[in-house]
Chain A
Amino acid sequence: GENVEQHPSTLSVQEGDSAVIKCTYSDSASNYFPWYKQELGKRPQLIIDIRSNVGEKKDQRIAVTLNKTAKHFSLHITETQPEDSAVYFCAASLWNNDMRFGAGTRLTVKP
């Protein structure tokens, strides 16, 4: 089955700096790559996603890049704010019969 690895497990940045989280996946057939944000004690919520036919997608301060050849994708957050502090999960979907998540990255933005 699909295997998703996520790095780093913890990340601390100063407010205003950029944050980058990287994920690799094992199955080249995976075709959907979402990122979820989970605040403490809350449910995961989608912040951005990308499909395998696209190399990059941006939404205000958040961007995701996908390198299908290398089988990795990354989340980029610019101009970080304290409210960006949360756990971020990447995931990879293999058509409609599997969804695998990374282990998560705890991001702390220090004011």
Chain B
Amino acid sequence: DTGVSQDPRHKITKRGQNVTFRCDPISEHNRLYWYRQTLGQGPEFLTYFQNEAQLEKSRLLSDRFSAERPKGSFSTLEIQRTEQGDSAMYLCASSSGPQRAPYTEAFFGQGTRLTVV
């Protein structure tokens, strides 16, 4: 197992275009998270999946953002009608554990750096 994998690593897009990022978690990890990190800040939580169920979404996740994890394995994060303020690093993480277990180490991918021009 090579860890959490994210694709692409870098994406430059024009304002108004749609973009989609993919995350492949560590095999058999049932929990998957998306975070956004802007320059000089720590990561901010966006959304969280337990298997294929999306259990929590941050207020940061506007209507232009949608995330899926259709078979409980990989996940996609789509941003529609991108804006310059969407420029950030998008990090994916995965972890294992029974539901409601609070203290589970999360393993992060290397992120997708989005630049909206």
Partners in one complex: no
- Seen from chain A, the residues whose Cβ lies within 8 Å of a Cβ on chain B are none
